[in-house]
Structure 1
Amino acid sequence: MTYDTGPSAAFRADADAGTGILAVDSGGSGLRVALGSAGRGALGRRSSPVPVRTGARGIDPAHLMEQLVPLVRELAAETGAPPPTTAVVGAAGLAGLGDALRAELPSALAREFGVRTTALAADAVTAYAGALGAHPGTVVAAGTGLIAVGTDLTAWRRADGWGHLLGDCGGGAWIGRAGLEAALRAHDGRPGGSAALLARAEERFGPMAGLPGQLYPRTDRPAVLASFAPSVAGCAQDDPVAAGILHTAARHIAESAAAVCPSEGEPRIALTGGLFALGDPLLVPLEDELARRLPHALRTPAEGDPLDGAVRIAVDLATGAAGLPHEETLLSVVSSV
């Protein structure tokens, strides 16, 4: 793919309208983009449902730009936002799959849009910024997987986020897998089984003898496992096995939060992500676990999502405000001038 040799015409006009910012959230559900100014924040948003590809070089910067360019041009025409001189890209998998992005994306953004400062952030960091801003504390980001990040504003700490085979304990795939295990135990007549979960699993997947064949060959196994988590929550009120799974998940989540939460001062704790839509069957035991393990920390609702976090980081960079700590694999800043 080739890029234009200079900023698009939509950005060359009105160059004195203010300090422009570009914020991007790239994850498993696609790409979301916000365009705005340092003084006014996001002026408009667009999204694409197509996730950015990964390959042998990790996250593909050319595919990201292929989707990003038309979205940003549409926003520029719609909002009249000033040309973006600062960009923040939050990406799932950045820590382990971000080498090509770090090497190529800042220069691509400079050529296409005239961006002079680019920050590349792990999606857990943009989730933190969206939930808490530049305040000490910890954020648990949970959906299919689970990761906890914390900072005292001098350094980052992370816990879990190791994927469904090695970790993500308490996340959606973990809960769904535990529920299906309990269903299979009931199917076999082994201790620890749940007839209620067996019935739900058969409704969802058909006869249990065919479950391995449905699950193991799939490349989206974590999402398939996580799709059963709502069934576990739906059984929890009347089924002690399902309730026990969610209590154990709550303990795992609280352990990860405690591992990264600053021990001094009055840190904040926020929860973000689709997992917490499971509601009281998970949240009630989780609140108990957090209160027991982190009595000095203040539970607070998440103020925003990862795209909001990317906007916040971009505003801080553009205005020179003190913000979150920089670290090569989690939040790095590159100047193109």
Structure 2
Amino acid sequence: MSWVLGVDSGGSGLRFALGSTAPDGTAGVTTVAATASAEPLRTGPSGIDAGQLLARLLPAVDTLLAQAGVNTNTNTDVEAGSGPGVLSAVAIGAAGMATLGDGLRAELPAALAHSLGVRRLVLAADAVTAYAGALGQRPGAVVAAGTGMIALGTDLTGWRRADGWGHLLGDCGGGAWIGRAGLEAAMRAHDGRRGGSPALLSRMEEVFGPAPELPGLLYPRTDRPAVLASFAPEVARCAAGDPIAAGIVSTAARHIAEAAAAVCPPSGACEVALTGGLFGLGDPLLAPLRAELAGQLPHATTVSAAADPLGGALLIAGALAGDTLRLPHDARLLNVLTEQDG
């Protein structure tokens, strides 16, 4: 048995999972223990704060090994791969890894080799760990949607990406996009402009207070995308009886389907998996999305995601440990930074 670690870093904090796998990787990964840290990682001039990640990761490893009953203080354990140097592979999936991961790529390999004896490390975009969790290592496409929205597809020779550009430049159809559109419709109703929704105005004032105060509440916030996304469920609830809200959700469905269509492998059938909290909105979003996918991707089959991004990180770590990683390597999306064991 070997031990592997998966890490999922996002806007809601960090999650860690310890898994066990057969040495040849053929039996997959079994999750043994998990823990979490609620505070998200900082970002700075060099991107995601590598020092802060390491400061959270090392105590988490100790906690997980203790939960698993691993004794790290005996020579026997070390020889068995259960002490210092216990981890056969680590896979870290992080939001912003593609554009903000330079610091992690520069600092983590040596730091983890020194502190944990880790020789096999993958740093991946959270969309890649979402893909691995949803579809494993088979070709297809995954749409990961929560506050933001990104689509990722592969034919196992390379990656195709659509959107995921943040709430100012894209993330079209994601939670922040839906929430912002709903709040705009509410403000239009407050002003008496066309396209306004009295139903959304009523919900906005119940959630945020009087309409004229909303800009002062929203614009100073550093977590604006999350605040915008918090209104998406209200838009979905109003969609059943309000044509403006229904139009917002239908447009979101079209955007999501367009992103999926852009990344599906161009030849043959394509599996499309939907993962992320946005799809918890249920039928107000899923019904128009199913219709859009059928129209834009008639050759595709929508499937349920097998696991979440943390499960995907663990799967990647297990595959790396067993030399069975088939997902395409990519300098920014899925970067294998350490040498394979000889």
Please classify the TM superposition score into its range, dividing by the shorter chain length: over 0.9
1:212 Cα shift?
A: 1.0
1:198 aligns to 2:201 (yes or no): yes
C-alpha separation in 2, matches of 1:109 and 1:245: 46
2:169 to 166, 170, 179: 166
**1:149-201 CA distances to partner (integer Å, 9 max, x unpaired)?**
00011000110011111110000010011111111111111111111001001
C-alpha separation in 2, matches of 1:52 and 1:203: 32
Q: Paired residue for 2:232? A: 229
Gaps of 5+ in 2: 23-28, 71-81
Residues 150-161 of structure 1 mapped to structure 2, 5 A cutoff:
150-161=153-164
C-alpha separation in 1, matches of 2:140 and 2:296: 14
Q: Percent identity?
A: 65
Q: Paired residue for 1:9? A: none
Matching residue's letter, 1:181: E
C-alpha separation in 2, matches of 1:158 and 1:261: 9
Normalising by the residue count of structure 2, what TM-score does the alignment of the two structures yield?
0.91
Normalising by the residue count of structure 1, what TM-score does the alignment of the two structures yield?
0.93
C-alpha separation in 1, matches of 2:13 and 2:186: 33
CA contact (8 A) 2:13 2:36 kept: yes
C-alpha separation in 2, matches of 1:31 and 1:177: 26
Matching residue's letter, 1:155: G
2:269 to 262, 266, 272: 266
C-alpha separation in 2, matches of 1:144 and 1:323: 29
C-alpha separation in 2, matches of 1:265 and 1:166: 32
1:35 to 18, 23, 36: 18
Gaps of 5+ in 1: 1-17
C-alpha separation in 1, matches of 2:36 and 2:202: 38
Q: Paired residue for 1:60? A: 49
Matching residue's letter, 2:63: E
1:96 aligns to 2:105 (yes or no): no
Matching residue's letter, 2:56: Q
CA contact (8 A) 1:180 1:201 kept: yes
CA contact (8 A) 2:9 2:95 kept: yes
C-alpha separation in 1, matches of 2:320 and 2:246: 45
**1:277-296 CA distances to partner (integer Å, 9 max, x unpaired)?**
11100000000000111111
Residues 273-292 of structure 1 mapped to structure 2, 5 A cutoff:
273-292=276-295
CA contact (8 A) 2:316 2:325 kept: no
Residues 71-110 of structure 1 mapped to structure 2, 5 A cutoff:
71-80=60-69, 82=82, 83-110=86-113
Matching residue's letter, 1:235: C
Q: Paired residue for 2:9? A: 26
Matching residue's letter, 1:77: A
SS in structure 2 of the partner of residue 335 of structure 1 = coil
1:182 aligns to 2:189 (yes or no): no
Task: Give the CA RMSD over aligned residues.
Answer: 1.1
* Greater displacement, 194-203 / 209-218: 209-218
**1:13-44 CA distances to partner (integer Å, 9 max, x unpaired)?**
xxxxx322111111111111111222253211
* Pairs aligned (count): 320
2:300 to 272, 297, 301: 297
1:322 Cα shift?
A: 4.3
Matching residue's letter, 2:264: C
C-alpha separation in 1, matches of 2:30 and 2:120: 17
C-alpha separation in 2, matches of 1:198 and 1:334: 50
4+ residue segments displaced more than 4 Å? none
CA contact (8 A) 1:135 1:268 kept: no
Matching residue's letter, 1:72: V
